[in-house]
Amino acid sequence: MAVFPDSYFETEIREGFEVQSMMKRAWAGQIEVMEEIRKVCERHNIKWFADYGTLLGAVRHKGFIPWDDDIDIGMKRDDLQNFIKYGKDELPEEYKILCMDLEPEYDSLIVRVVNSTTISDDEARMKKYHGCPYVLGIDIFPLDYLSRDKEERELHIEVVNIILGAIENVASPDISKEDVDDYIRQVEQLTGTAIDRTVPLKIALLRLAEKLCSIYGPEDADEVAGIWRLIWQNNFHFPKEWFDDLIEIPFETVTVPVPREYDKILRIKFGDNYMTPIKEITHNYPFYKEQDKIIQEMRGN
19 vs 107: CA distance, rounded Å: 31
99-106 long-range Cβ contacts below 8 angstroms, 24+ apart: 100/203, 100/206, 100/207, 100/210, 104/199, 104/203, 105/200, 105/203, 106/203
Q: What are the domain boundaries of the chain?
A: 6-143+240-280
Q: How far apart are CA 215 and CA 208, in angstroms?
A: 11
Band (pLDDT 50/70/90 cuts) for residue 1 is low
Dihedral sign, CA of 165, 170, 174, 176? Answer: positive
Q: Which residues make Cβ contacts (< 8 Å) with residue 192, sequence separation at least 6?
A: none
Strands 137-147 and 71-76: parallel
pLDDT at 281: 79
DSSP 86: H
Residue 41: its pLDDT value, please? 98
Q: What percentage of the chain has pLDDT greater than the value 70?
A: 99
Q: Identify the CA nearest to 140 among candidates 89, 208, 87, 66.
A: 87
Q: Does domain 6-143+240-280 have CATH number 3.30.200?
A: no
Dihedral, CA of residue 143, residue 148, residue 152 and residue 154, to nearest 10: 60
Stated pTM of the model:
0.96
DSSP, collapsed to helix, strand or coil, labels residue 75 as: strand
Strands 238-239, 246-251: parallel, antiparallel or unpaired by DSSP?
unpaired
For every residue of 183-224, DSSP letters joined together read: HHHHHHHHHT----TTS-HHHHHHHHHHHHHT---GGGEEEE
The CA-atom distances, in angstroms, between 173 and each of 169, 178, 180, 181, 183 are 9, 13, 11, 15, 15
Give tens-digit pLDDT for 134-174. Answer: 999 999 999 999 999 999 999 999 999 999 998 988 888 88
Q: Are 31 and 71 in contact (CB under 8 A)?
A: yes
pLDDT for the residue 88: 98
180 phi/psi in degrees, rounded to 5: -60, -45
